[in-house]
């Protein structure tokens, strides 16, 4: 559900102490305490805070009828904001902000892509995205109504962003399972999944522990070492990310 952003305003004394020096400022400012404990202190000028501490180890807020005090500590850095008088205080619900990618089928709120997730600010549902995924803003899953995403893992797949609805591992397994040989023992490389990551592991495990993460890209040929080549966002690479022969390619479908 939405988290809480706390806002403090008034005539304040702001102290910042760090190994490279310390400073004290006073003025009518606005202090924000974000849900991740980040503290930002803004005055009347420009967009940059006059003082801040990002995701500190601890944040203490003291508040009563006489005023308020915020103390944030992170290692040897200290930020303290103390009001000189009662000041004003408020709290607001906040969520992630991102690019709209459709509507939530459960609550009707706008779904947004924020970082590596598709998030609903209305009901707080969150769907983690695999690396390199592109989310469609005009195509939805026929079964659940969530957006579809395109993911490349050897081949390109259009799948629901909800893994419980459509499994990326199942799609990769259908495309790549047992298509390649283990370079160490010659047995099949099988598609497996561990903690949301898809990889090709030797069928001889545990006798042979050879395994490779499947990169975000499409198959474009065979490396000089015999393993497949993938076209990724940073160029062509071998399934074995440490392979020094990847530049010697046999390009082709």
Q: What is the pLDDT of residues 214-242, one digit of tens each?
A: 999 999 999 988 899 999 988 899 999 88
- Domain ranges, ordered by start, for the chain: 3-94, 99-166, 170-251
Task: Provide the whole-model pTM.
Answer: 0.72
Tell me the average pLDDT across 46-75: 96
CA–CA separation, 179 vs 242, rounded Å? 21
CATH architecture, domain 3-94: Distorted Sandwich (2.70)
Closest among 100, 166, 212 to 223, alpha carbons compared: 212
Question: Tens digits of per-residue pLDDT, 137-158?
Answer: 999 999 999 999 999 999 999 9
Tell me the average pLDDT across 44-70: 95
CA–CA separation, 87 vs 78, rounded Å? 22
The reported pLDDT for the residue numbered 245 is 66
Length of the chain: 253
Question: Tens digits of per-residue pLDDT, 4-44?
Answer: 999 999 999 999 999 988 999 999 999 999 999 999 999 99
- The encoded tokens of residue 199 equal 């990889």
């Amino acid at each position: 559900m939405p988290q809480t952003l706390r806002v403090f305003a008034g005539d304040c004394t702001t102290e910042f102490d760090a190994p490279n020096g310390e400073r004290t400022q006073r003025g009518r400012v606005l202090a924000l305490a974000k849900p991740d404990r980040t503290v930002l202190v803004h005055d009347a000028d420009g967009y940059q805070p006059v003082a801040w501490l990002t995701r500190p180890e601890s944040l203490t807020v003291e508040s009563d009828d006489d005023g308020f005090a915020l103390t944030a500590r992170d290692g040897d850095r200290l930020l303290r904001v103390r009001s000189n008088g009662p000041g004003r205080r408020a709290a607001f619900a906040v969520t992630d902000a991102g690019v709209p990618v459709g509507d939530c089928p459960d609550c009707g709120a706008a779904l947004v892509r924020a970082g590596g997730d598709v998030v609903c600010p209305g009901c707080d549902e969150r769907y983690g995205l695999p690396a390199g995924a592109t989310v469609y803003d005009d195509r939805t899953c026929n079964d659940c109504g969530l957006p579809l995403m395109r993911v490349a893992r050897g081949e390109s797949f259009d799948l629901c962003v909800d893994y419980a609805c459509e499994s990326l591992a199942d799609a990769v397994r259908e495309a790549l399972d047992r298509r390649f040989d283990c370079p160490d023992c010659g047995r099949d490389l099988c598609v497996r999944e561990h903690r949301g990551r898809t990889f090709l592991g030797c069928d001889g495990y545990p006798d042979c522990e050879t395994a490779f993460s499947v990169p975000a890209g499409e198959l474009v040929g065979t490396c000089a070492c015999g393993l497949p080549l993938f076209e990724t966002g940073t160029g062509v690479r071998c399934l074995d990310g440490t392979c020094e022969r990847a530049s010697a390619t046999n390009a082709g479908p």
